[in-house]
Amino acid sequence: MKQDFYVVLGVQHDASETDIKKAYRKLAMECHPDRNNGDKAAEEKFKLVTEAYEVLRDPEKRAAYDRYGMAGVRGQGAPAGFSSTHFDLSEALMVFMRDFGLGGGGAFSGFDNLFGGGQRRERRRGHDVKVGLKLTLAEVATGTTKTVRIKSLEACTVCGGTGAKQGTQPVQCGTCGGSGELRHQAQSLFGQFLTVSPCPTCGGEGTVVRDPCERCGGEGRVKGEKTIQIDVPAGVADHHYLTLRGQGVPGPRNGPPGDLIAVLDIKEDPRFERHGDDLVYDLGITFTQAALGADVQVPTPYGQAKLRVESGTQTGMAYRLRNKGLPRLGEAGHGDLHVRVHVWTPNKLTAEQRKLLEKLGEIEDPVPEEPGGSNFWDTVRRALGLEEEHEPRPRRRRGGEE
Ligand SMILES: [Zn+2]
Ligand SMILES: [Zn+2]
C-alpha cells in the first residue's frame, strides 16, 4: 500500500510538529476504535494515521521519509527481524495514549479490556542502543552481514534478573498495592474521567525489592558486552537505519529490552557518483578512441565490465550500462551505471605524434555548425544515434522492463 503520510494526515509538507500533532489528534479522535464500535475501516484508518504520525513527528524519521519514502522508514524487503513501523492495533493505541494521555475509563473505557482487566502492571523497558555502521559501496551492492560489539548491560546471572537477593523474591509494592498504577479523576476533552499513571514507587512493576542482590544492587542487570550480527540488505543508502527489536539494553529487573538501532554510514567510492540506485562513472578516452571507436573496460560495483565506445563519441555523452547500478532496496532489479565520457586532449606530443597530427590537421573537417547555434551536442548525439541523456538522474522503474 503506497500512502503519502502527509496526505494521510492532511498536512502540508512543511507542516510544523505542532500542526502534525494537532492534525493527528483530530483524526485519531474520529477513528478511534472505542468510538466506532470496532468498525474495521475505522480501525485501519486509526492504525494508518498513527503510523503516519509516528514517522512525521520524529525529525529523523521524517527526514528519512522525505528522502526515501517508505523505504526510508519501513526497511521494506529487509530480512526478518528488522522492524517496520507498521503498527498493530495495540501499538497504535499505545502511541495515542502516550502522547495524549487518555487512560482507562470515561470515553475510552475500552482500554481496560485491551490491557487485560485494568491491571497495567508493566516492566520498565531498557534503553535503545544506537550504533554507527560503516559500509563500503561494494557492501551496499551485495548486501552484507556486519558484526558489532556493543558495551551494554546484561541480565544479572546471580539473581536471574529479578534484583532480589538469592533466596528472596521481590514483594508487592505498598504504594499501589501491586497494580503498578495510580488512578486519578481528571478533566479531559470528553468530560471527567479517570487517568491512570504508573506507580512512582515501583515504576509500574507492582513489586519492589526488599533485599537487593549483592551483585547488581537490585537493578537486575550488570555491565556487559555483546556481539551482534546485523544483516544489511542490498541497496541501502547513507543515514538509513535498521532497527533490531529487542537487541538493545535489557530493562531493569527483567523488563523488556530496548532496540538496537544501526545508523548506516556509507563510505563514498571515489570512482562513482551515486544518484539513488544509479551510479555515474567518468571515463576518459583518447581522441583517437573517440574518433575511431574502441572497446574499453569500466569498473562497476560487481567488477569490470566491457563498454563499446562508438566512433564519433563526444565529450559529455553518456553510455548506460543497464542493471549495473545498485540493487533497488526492497524491490527487484538494479539501477543503471551511466558512463560519462571525457575526451582527453594530449598535452605533450612526441615529434612523431606532432607530425601525424599536423598531417591530420591539413585534411580534417571543421566542427559542423548548427543553424541557430542551439543544442549543438543534442544534434550530434541524434546524428550518431547514441543515448540522448546527458545528466543521468535516478529513475524509478518497476518490474517488467527489459
Ligand atoms: Zn542480581
Ligand atoms: Zn507500586
Residue where a domain stops, chosen among 56, 74, 100: 100
In a domain, 391, yes or no: no
Which grid coordinates belong to 295?
A: 572497446
CATH of the domain at 81: 1.10.287.110
Q: Measure the CA–CA gap between 149 and 57, rounded to whole angstroms.
A: 31
Q: Which domain holds residue 283?
A: 272-384
Q: How far does the centroid of ligand 1 lie from the alpha carbon of residue 150, in Å? A: 21
Residues 283 and 208 in one domain: no
Give the pLDDT mean for 259-266: 93
Helix (H) / strand (E) element for 380: namely helix 376-384
Residues 293 and 373 in one domain: yes
Q: How many domains are there within the chain?
A: 3
CA-CA-CA-CA dihedral for 20, 26, 32, 37, to nearest 10: -160
Residues 187-227 have pLDDT tens digits of: 666 666 677 788 888 888 888 999 999 999 999 999 999 99
**Nearest listed ligand to the Cα of residue 197:** 2
Q: How far does the centroid of ligand 1 lie from the alpha carbon of residue 165, in Å? A: 7
Say yes or no to pLDDT of 402 above 60. Answer: no
Say yes or no to pLDDT of 374 above 70. Answer: no
**Nearest listed ligand to the Cα of residue 154:** 1
Residues 84 and 131 in one domain: no
Say yes or no to pLDDT of 61 above 90. Answer: no
Helix (H, G, I), strand (E, B) or coil at 107: helix
**What residue has cell string 532496540?**
259
Residues 198 and 217 in one domain: yes
Residues 276-285 have pLDDT tens digits of: 999 999 999 9
Residues 188 and 141 in one domain: yes
Q: How far does the centroid of ligand 1 lie from the alpha carbon of residue 223, in Å? A: 11
DSSP category for residue 123:
P
pLDDT at res. 59: 87
**Nearest listed ligand to the Cα of residue 218:** 1
Residues 130 and 229 in one domain: yes
- The burial of 272, by beta-carbon neighbours within 10 Å (0-12 exposed, 13-18 middle, 19 or more buried), is given as buried
CATH of the domain at 241: 2.60.260.20
Residues 173 and 301 in one domain: no
pLDDT averaged over every residue in the chain: 81
pLDDT at res. 77: 38
**Nearest listed ligand to the Cα of residue 220:** 1
Q: Which residues surround ligand 2, an ion (CB under 5 A)?
A: 173, 175-176, 199, 201-202
Strands 337-344 and 278-286: parallel
Residues 253 and 276 in one domain: no
Residues 317-356 have pLDDT tens digits of: 999 999 999 999 888 899 999 999 999 999 999 999 999 9
Q: How far does the centroid of ligand 1 lie from the alpha carbon of residue 222, in Å? A: 8
Is the full-model pTM beyond 0.95? no
Q: Measure the CA–CA gap between 91 and 48, rounded to whole angstroms.
A: 12
In a domain, 35, yes or no: yes
Give the pLDDT mean for 65-70: 80
In a domain, 197, yes or no: yes
Residues 242 and 301 in one domain: no
- HSE-CB at 177 with a 13 A cutoff on CA atoms is 3
One DSSP character per residue, 195-258 reads EEEE-TTTTTSSEE-SSB-TTTTTSSEEEEEEEEEEEE-TT--TT-EEEETT-SPPPGGGPPP-
